[in-house]
Every structure is written in C-alpha cells, then in structure tokens.
A and B are shown apart, each in its own frame.
Chain A
C-alpha cells in the first residue's frame, strides 16, 4: 500500500477529500443573496385613499325602485330612453367624447387620430368591419359609415354602468347585446340566454374594473391581447399584481385615477402625459391637466427615508420604469407578434385550421396568420416626451424598413422626456405595394369579399380600400411593423420594484438607452485607464519602497 513520506500527510489528504465532498453541499445551500428592493418606510401619500372605495359603492338611489325601469325592454336603446328620462344631459355629454366618436385630433401634431381613423397592426382597421369592432363602442347600431352620432338613444349606458357582470356586447351585433338566445362562441355548441335588460337596468351603478375591462382588457380581440398591462386578471387582482387595484387592499376602480368630467375620461393613448412635474393636485379642482398620472397623487418627490436618493432619478425615469418590473404578470399571455402574411393555410381537408401552443393559445389561425405570446414580459424602454406620431392611412413610407405604426418622440436632451417602459408589438401586415401606404382590409363584413369568408387578401383589401374611399394600386404586399404601448398598469408592491442592479450593470435593463451615464453600466475609457495607471504606479512605488528597505536592512545588518 502507498505510504506517505511525511508524517501527518494522511490526515491532510483525508481533510482535502472530505472538503471536496462537503463543498458542493455548502455551495448549493448557500443560495445567492437576493437583492432587496427598496422599501419605503415612512408614511405614504396614498393613505388617504383607504376610505374611498366603500364610499364609492354606496348610492343614494335604488334604481330597482324607479318605475321607468320596471319594464321589459325590447332592446338597448329602449333602456337608454328610460335612463334619459332622469339623466337628461348624459347622452349630450357622451356625444362629445372619444369613447363615442372614436375620432381625435391631436392639437400638437395636428394628426387626425381616433379608433375609426388609425390603422394598427392587430386587426388593422375599423372601416368595413364596423359590426365586429363596435362591440366595444359605447353605442348601439354602428354598422356602417351612416351611423347617426347625434342620436341620444343610441348611447349605451349599460356597458359602463352594469353591476351584474351579465351584460355583454358580442362581436357582429354592431354594439348590441344579444336579445335572443344565441350560440356563442360561434359553432361552439354553447348558447347564451337573452340579455336580461330589466335586471341590468335596475342594478346600474358606478363604473368598475369589470365594466372598463369589458373592452380595455380585451383590446386587440381577446383577453390580454393588446396592451400587456391590462387583462382580466385585474378584475379581481391580488396585491402582487397591482397595489392600487388590489381587491383586498386599496381596491381602486379605474375611475379612481381616470377621473371624468361630463363623461370625458382622463388619460389618452394618443396624447399621453409622459412627464408630470407639477406635483399633486386636489381632485375636483379646476386643474385642467391629466389626473391619471402617478405624480397627480404621489407628488414629484415621492421617496423618503433611506430611499430619498430615488428622487434624483425622477428627472430621467418615469415612475413606471421602476415600479412596473414586468407586464402580463397575471398569468395571462399577452400577444407579442402577429404575422398576417401566413394566413390562408388550410388543413388536410381544405378547411380553416387553428394550431395551439403549449400554453393553450392559438399560434396559427387560417383567418389571421401566426402569433407569438409571452407573460411576465420585461418591457422595452425608450425615451418619451408624450408626443406620438402615427403612420396614418395616407402616410407614404419606405417598405424596406420596419415601419413604426406610432413613433414615441423624445430624447435625453430635450428636457421634457423620461425613459418609459413600453410593450412593442411587432407585426407583418398588408400594405399597398404600389402606393407604399397602409391599407384598410375587410375582415368580417357580411359580404363575400371579407377575408374571414374567402381567405383572399387581394379581394379583402380591394373592397376595404373602396369602402374607405381610398386609392388602391391593386398590389398587396407585406410590411414589418412595430407599435409601441406605454406600460402604466400592474404597479408592483414597493418590495418588488426594479432593483438597482437590474439597471446598474453591464447589459442591464437600460442598455441601449442613449444619453445617460449609469454607474455600473457605463464606463469612460480614459477614466478607466487613468485609474489603472494610478493603481499600477502605486504598486510599483510600494515594491520599490519595499525593495529599498530590504536592501538597506541587509546592508545595515
């Protein structure tokens, strides 16, 4: 047997071997330290809202006792007439709003926007598809361009004021709910009973997350599809998902931030408020600015105690950048891309097909092409000063480049921009190859030209363009597009904000954002060289000093 030359060597070898056995155990049990997110320790300005929600639910009127509402209504407009008997000015107010007109002129850019005018990279355009799209219009009967926007009885009161959660406007009915038993979803074998208008009318109340969410959670044609930070999980959210809407906590309705005046609701995707540096303001005051900003309640110096340093970030970062670490956090997958160019592929029997992904979402639909999805999505960050420039129906573009459906303006130097978290939705969609413009496409019309009936994109675009009164070259091409959406909901608890190291590191979250210097993320080559040179000189000095002392000692000794 091998014998060790030195006494005690066996012991050392045994020690080394045992060390080798136990170090992995130490390594695996010693989990890497988790960076603690900043926790605000002192009182917060939001405490005042603790009392608000229960008060919101109380009303001085019991609508079930009103004789005007004790009627078997034949349709929605009949309910509205009953509402107007008391709320005489309601429809006149609503007729002036974006929710009614789907029409908006940006006073700064002069662009003519609004849902009925803009072409996006989801279902693309409203004209020629009214009956489907207007399931999310606050009116009844908008089925073509001849809709009467002055008719008071066509305003749909119930879609915003229902408290029964049973009112549902179905696509294809031009903004009406079903008044007869109807198979829904189509070909599903499931049937939806006629809408009980009487019961719903007798139970109207203030708007809620459910009523706003009926449309806004389902933007883009389905739950969680469009925005990323708005989906049905916010109907009854936990604290982790949104500290303001937490159903067991502050329980904010949408209207708590999106205040309204004469039915015009604060906040806009067309003209967002990217920077609010005016501090808090009292609700009900004559302040004309957007009430739906963080600063409107929290002020512009919101951090205190040991996190006061965070206040020095607010001249560069939007609040949302730190306080919304990811979107689609409610376990719903949001759509991330849509490629229309692959539509029309049929199954082996020549029938339209759908292919589902691992999470159960449709990855391919013969009617629509390919999709991708994601959840808990890290936002893409960009400078934003509130100005959004849209590619409109008549805007000419270079088809060799990725087309921005909307461009967020802003930069580090303009003094009015902040770095914002955004969802960038990517698509490949049809365009007029001859004119280099976006196109109106007939998707869901009753006519045989509709894409979802005949799967012929050329006919669908030709009809859509003719319907919209637009010039069409006759050639359909495919263009890659991007559309940005500011992320502003799903505000995380303070413990879960974006931690310092997630940005202050190489290739951190803000990598690629120009015009900022971030310790840990950026370096200055000259400064680095100077530092290394100083360190090297110090080392050389120490060595020389040590050497001199050593030789002097030898000589002296």
Chain B
C-alpha cells in the first residue's frame, strides 16, 4: 500500500515538474515571421478584418515599447494588436460563471523583435485555455480563427499599418469597435 502511494506521489511530482517546465510552451505560442514588426502587424490586422463574418474587429494597436522609451529606457519593438469578436465574447460575457474571463479580452496578439534581429508573433493557446476554463467550444473556434490571423499570403503587397486607438469599453472608441 505504502509503495503504491509513494509511487503515485512521485508520479504527481514528475507530472507537476514536466508541466511546470512545459507551461510557457503550452499556454503561449511563438512563431517567427518573415516580415518586419510593422508589416507583420499590418498583415495580421488585414487577416483579422478578413474574418469580419465571424464578428472580428480591430480593437486597438498598442506600442508598449514607446512607453518604456518615454520612461528613459530601451526595449526592442513590440506591437500589441487587439481584436475582438462579439460573436465569441457575447456568450462568455452573458454567463456569471464565465464572465470573469473578460480579463482575457480583447484577444491580443503580440508582434516583437528579439536579439537575433528577427520578428516573432506571440499568441495565447486559445484552445487549451478554453478547455481549462470551461469554454472549450467557443475558444476552439477562436483558435481556428487565430490560425488564419497568422497565415500570410506573400503574394499580396504589404498593407499599411492601421493605427487603431484602443476602444473605449463596451461601445468601442471613435476609431475602434471593442468588446
């Protein structure tokens, strides 16, 4: 009996350690982009707009690196693209049990440069997050749309970056629809 419990606990610890080390890979996804930070962000914006049938709109474009520069320090370029679809956010926001997930809204995709000089895209693993928080069906659709956001058609020219001011709450800002 004792051996079984010890073995079980060892298993738990092992799984926990593996999970701990894999957490960032499982929860967040990083993919390289062949384009500059601005062009990558602009292409993602266009892809988001192409899924307007699924309710997607741009909610904002933030430049956190600029804020750091204003405070007197250097960080490589980072752009946060915010997007939201009321088609997906609505059911989550309606339910008391899942309304707390609004903390993850709007959907944010980050585009940034690393020390190797290359551009990367960072995404949340919407599918896994959805399963964890009990909204797996909805988030599976979000995850599918996310794939479209980061699939680029190199035959198309670089679109201009849309400088969307972050939306002002439920009604959205002047320039942006929000969730």
Contacts and interface: CB of A to CB of B under 8 A. Distances in A.
Same assembly: yes
B16 A19 contact: yes
A358 B74 contact: no
Interface stretch (A164-172, A177-185, A430-438, A490-498): A490-498
A300 B15 CA distance: 54
Nearest to A375: B77
Given A16-B12, A358-B41, A358-B161, A496 B73 contact: yes
A331 B66 contact: yes
Contacts of B101: none
B72 interface: yes
B170 interface: no
A358 B39 contact: yes
A495 to B, nearest CB: 6
Nearest to B117: A378
Contact of B132 (A21, A331, A373, A376): A21
B32 interface: no
B38 A326 contact: no
Interface residues of A, number: 42
Contact of B23 (A6, A27, A331): A27
A360 B4 CA distance: 66
Contact of B27 (A24, A329, A374): A24
B39 A377 contact: no
A502 B66 CA distance: 22
Interface in B62-112: 66, 68-74, 76-77
A28 B23 CA distance: 8
Contacts of A360: 160-161
A6 B24 contact: no
Contacts of B23: 23-24, 26-28
A374 B26 CA distance: 31
B78 to A, nearest CB: 10
B4 A358 contact: no
A326 B36 contact: no
A359 B161 CA distance: 6
A147 interface: no
B29 to A, nearest CB: 13
B165 interface: no
Interface string A1-40: 0000010110010011001110110111000000000000
A192 to B, nearest CB: 27
A327 to B, nearest CB: 11
A111 B34 CA distance: 40
A502 B117 CA distance: 12
A358 B5 contact: no
Given A12-B12, A363-B158, A238 B69 contact: yes
B159 A240 contact: no
A355 B39 CA distance: 14
B158 A358 contact: yes
A356 interface: yes
A502 B76 CA distance: 14
Interface in A475-517: 492-493, 495-496, 502, 507, 509
Nearest to A31: B24
Contacts of B16: 19, 23
A356 B160 contact: yes
B5 A239 contact: no
Nearest to A27: B23
Contacts of B116: 378, 507
A23 B17 CA distance: 10
Contact of B74 (A16, A329, A355, A375): A329
Contacts of A492: 74
B157 A355 contact: yes
A233 to B, nearest CB: 10
A359 B39 contact: yes
A202 to B, nearest CB: 37
B166 to A, nearest CB: 19
Contact of A240 (B72, B77, B117): B72
A344 interface: no
Contacts of A375: 37, 77
A84 to B, nearest CB: 45
A6 B5 contact: yes
Contacts of A12: 5, 8-9, 12
A24 B132 contact: yes
A326 B39 CA distance: 20
Contact of A6 (B4, B39, B43, B76): B4
A359 B36 contact: yes
B1 interface: yes
Contacts of A357: 36, 38-39, 158
A23 B19 contact: yes
B153 interface: no
Contacts of A239: 72
B83 to A, nearest CB: 17
Interface string B6-35: 001100100110011001101110000001
18 contacts: A6-B1, A12-B8, A19-B19, A21-B132, A23-B19, A23-B23, A26-B23, A28-B24, A238-B72, A239-B72, A240-B72, A357-B38, A358-B158, A359-B161, A363-B158, A375-B77, A378-B115, A493-B72
Which are the 9 A-B pairs with shortest beta-carbon distances?
A27-B23, A358-B42, A359-B38, A358-B39, A496-B74, A378-B117, A358-B38, A239-B72, A358-B161
Interface of B: 1, 4-5, 8-9, 12, 15-16, 19-20, 23-24, 26-28, 35-39, 41-43, 66, 68-74, 76-77, 113, 115-117, 132, 157-161
Given A331-B69, A357-B36, 16 more contacts: A12-B8, A12-B9, A19-B16, A23-B23, A27-B24, A27-B27, A240-B69, A240-B72, A240-B73, A357-B158, A358-B161, A360-B161, A378-B115, A493-B73, A496-B73, A509-B115
